[in-house]
Amino acid sequence: MEEIQIVSTCVVRASSNSNNGITHTSQNIEMTPWDLQFLLVETIQKGLLFKKPTPQQQNNLIKSLNSLSLVDHLKASLSRTLDFFPPLAGRFSTTKNPNDNTITSFSITCNNSGAEFTHAIAPELTVKEILESCYVPTIVHSFFPLNKVRNVQCVTKPLLGVQVTELVDGYFIGCTMSHSLGDGTCFWHFFNSWSEITRGFELISRFPTLERWFPQNVNPPIYFPLELDDEKLDVCMEMPIVKERVFHLSKENVSKLKAKANYEMDTKSISSLQAFLAHLWRCVTRCNRVNANEEVILNIVIGTRTRLDPPLPEEYWGNAAIIKPIKVKAGELLENGLGYAALLINKVVASQNYEEVMDSYRRWVENPVIVSKKSLFVANRLSISSSPKFNVYSCDFGWGKPVGVRSGMANKDNGKVTLFRGVEEGSVDIEVCLMTSTLLAMENDEEFMEFITV
Ligand SMILES: *[C@@H]1O[C@H](CO)[C@@H](O)[C@H](O)[C@H]1NC(C)=O
Ligand SMILES: *[C@@H]1O[C@H](CO)[C@@H](O)[C@H](O)[C@H]1NC(C)=O
């Protein structure tokens, strides 16, 4: 396999201690159950693929920040971006309960310890190979720093790592962020802000809201027992039994699936997302030849910002999401149509109102549940992550929009599904990590492939 070469790795700190008008910056930020639930899983790893800038574009960029090279320019702009996101340059701190030393609390210490910056080259790899190979080339995993790091390890490891990998005709900018620091919304808020500063903005367009949300009667810090079970920590993706592939759905494919699902159930309430997830779920179940009386599970992530009263702002900078399983017998899923499966998803999403979200929050405080990677990847289960709602193609670093988006190896195993918006408006890319045999069956499944654009 082709290899990448690491040119250099360094620490990048925020450029100043002034907080650029951010009103709330405390040195120490307490963490909520929504943050703590992810301590034992891995980070968020997403990256963008760009064509190389023209020499003219590159010169203009470099001049704008008096840098020597594009990589130096990206380092300098990262440093200035960290001014607005002090948690990203911090570390987690732990405190033992003074009355009971079997329980611990976690917080974020914003002390500008710094983020990790890596410069690498993949001298033989082209943009086309990444975008057009049938399966995602495994070399993409090495385009991300801090591989295999668990969120809990960010007491000593950086909470953010970025890697700029130079290809023959492009760049891949990969970011690794601790998932206990924030969710996908936060991740893309940072990524977009960094691109703005790199393009020459003085200030970022949207400031993060750094104060974490706690309901009345819940007073941080929250202490809980944390078992660092080695077995739990060592589950890694088994390559090459699983492979990754990106299925592209055009705007037309998505809207036809949505219309079909709603028509079948005589409703208007099924969303595009619910319709294409139902399409995927039924196909994977069919291709895996699951026995009719076995249970299949779809784990979905439900955002909680808009479910609180008053809602949290989109800029709330912390995790605001919960994982919900949807369970059904394989036979029931396959004997009924697309609309039936989509409505199952729709009902679970709709059930998560303010009261439900608050109940699950309080239940967590009373009885903390830390998600393990093992619990996400068991037989007959698909785990959905990320969202086509995230604006990934607006991350323009000054020489044009990205031409693709890919995720790293974090939290991947058989059954992991990562959703992205597609390059063309309204289209969707579904990145799946599945057994090779399942992927081959999907490719030959006419009912599925009818709605896929190759
Ligand atoms: C920042 O805080 C972390 C966690 O408490 C600590 O380990 C680290 O040494 C601190 N770094 C600096 C530069 O103060
Ligand atoms: C899926 O989209 C492609 C490209 O737009 C189109 O050629 C194909 O007919 C679509 N299939 C369906 C069922 O919408």
In the predicted model, is pLDDT for residue 327 greater than 70? yes
Q: How far apart are CA 355 and CA 309, in angstroms?
A: 10
Q: Which atom of ligand 2 is nearest to the CA of 452?
A: 1
Clarify whether 189 is annotated catalytic. Answer: no
Cis peptide before 55 (omega within 30 of 0): no
Neighbour count for residue 134 (Cβ, 10 Å):
11
Clarify whether 396 is annotated catalytic. Answer: yes
Q: Name the residue ranges covered by the structural domains of the chain.
A: 5-233, 242-449
Using DSSP's 3-state secondary structure scheme, residue 49 falls into: strand
Task: Report the run of H or E that residue 190 belongs to, with start and end.
Answer: helix 184-199
pLDDT class of 21 with cuts at 50, 70, 90? very low
Task: Report the run of H or E that residue 191 belongs to, with start and end.
Answer: helix 184-199
In the predicted model, is pLDDT for residue 152 greater than 50? yes
Instruction: Give the ligand at the shortest distance from the Cα of 157.
Output: 1
Least confident of 10-19, 162-171, 352-361: 10-19
Using DSSP's 3-state secondary structure scheme, residue 119 falls into: strand
In whole angstroms, what separates CA 237 from the centre of its chain? 17
Which residue stretches of 230-314 are H helix?
Answer: 230-233, 251-265, 272-287
Closest Cα to atom 6 of ligand 1: 91
- pLDDT for position 334: 98
Q: How far apart are CA 50 and CA 400, in angstroms?
A: 8
From residue 391, give the alpha-carbon distance in Å to each of 112, 148, 209, 394, 426: 28, 26, 19, 6, 12
- pLDDT for position 24: 42
In the predicted model, is pLDDT for residue 273 greater than 90? yes
Q: How far apart are CA 280 and CA 292, in angstroms?
A: 17
- pLDDT for position 67: 79
Q: How far apart are CA 74 and CA 115, in angstroms?
A: 13
pLDDT class of 228 with cuts at 50, 70, 90? low
Tokens at residue 182, please? 């924030």
Tell me which of 247, 249, 250, 446 to substitute to probe ligand 2's pocket, judged by most ligand atoms within 8 Å of the beta carbon: 250
In the predicted model, is pLDDT for residue 166 greater than 60? yes
Q: Best-predicted range by mean pLDDT among 136-140, 235-239, 378-382? A: 136-140
Q: How far apart are CA 31 and CA 151, in angstroms?
A: 13
Residue with tokens 């969202």: 387
Q: Please tell me if the domain spanning 5-233 has the same topology as the one spanning 242-449.
A: yes
In the predicted model, is pLDDT for residue 438 greater than 50? yes
Which residue stretches of 27-182 are H helix?
Answer: 33-36, 55-64, 70-82, 127-132
Least confident of 10-19, 71-80, 122-131: 10-19
From residue 69, give the alpha-carbon distance in Å to each of 174, 180, 330: 18, 33, 55
- pLDDT for position 2: 66
Least confident of 14-23, 158-167, 197-206: 14-23
pTM, rounded to two decimals: 0.95
- pLDDT for position 101: 87
310 Cα–ligand 1 center, Å: 35
Segment 427-442 mean pLDDT: 97
Largest CA distance in the chain: 65
In the predicted model, is pLDDT for residue 421 greater than 90? yes
Superfamily of domain 242-449 in the CATH hierarchy: Chloramphenicol acetyltransferase-like domain (3.30.559.10)
Buried b (16+ CB within 10 A) or exposed e, 251-275: eebbeebbebbbebbeeeebebbbb
256 Cα–ligand 2 center, Å: 9
Closest Cα to atom 3 of ligand 2: 453
Q: How far apart are CA 238 and CA 435, in angstroms?
A: 10
Segment 354-369 mean pLDDT: 94
In the predicted model, is pLDDT for residue 63 greater than 60? yes
- pLDDT for position 376: 79
CA nearest neighbour of 136 among 253, 247, 284: 247
Which CATH number does 5-233 carry?
A: 3.30.559.10
Tell me which of 91, 106, 153 to substitute to probe ligand 1's pocket, judged by most ligand atoms within 8 Å of the beta carbon: 91
In the predicted model, is pLDDT for residue 117 greater than 50? yes
Q: How far apart are CA 82 and CA 111, in angstroms?
A: 12
Segment 428-452 mean pLDDT: 97
126 Cα–ligand 2 center, Å: 28
- pLDDT for position 236: 53
Catalytic annotation, pick one of 179, 183, 189, 279? 179
Looking at per-residue confidence, does 419 or 241 come out higher? 419
- Strand-pair category, 416-421 with 115-121: unpaired
Phi, psi dihedral angles at 305 (to 5 degrees): -50, -50
- pLDDT for position 23: 42
From residue 310, give the alpha-carbon distance in Å to each of 274, 304, 313, 314: 26, 11, 9, 12
At CA 443, angle to CA 439 and CA 446, rounded to 5?
A: 135
Phi, psi dihedral angles at 210 (to 5 degrees): -85, -20
Q: pLDDT averaged over the chain? A: 93
Contact 246, 411 (CB under 8 A): no
Looking at per-residue confidence, does 18 or 273 come out higher? 273
CA nearest neighbour of 176 among 411, 7, 442: 411
In the predicted model, is pLDDT for residue 232 greater than 70? no
- pLDDT for position 312: 97
> Which residue type does 232 have?
K
Closest Cα to atom 5 of ligand 1: 93
Query: Could you tell me if the CB of 447 is within 6 A of ligand 2?
Result: no
| % of the chain at pLDDT higher than 70 | 94
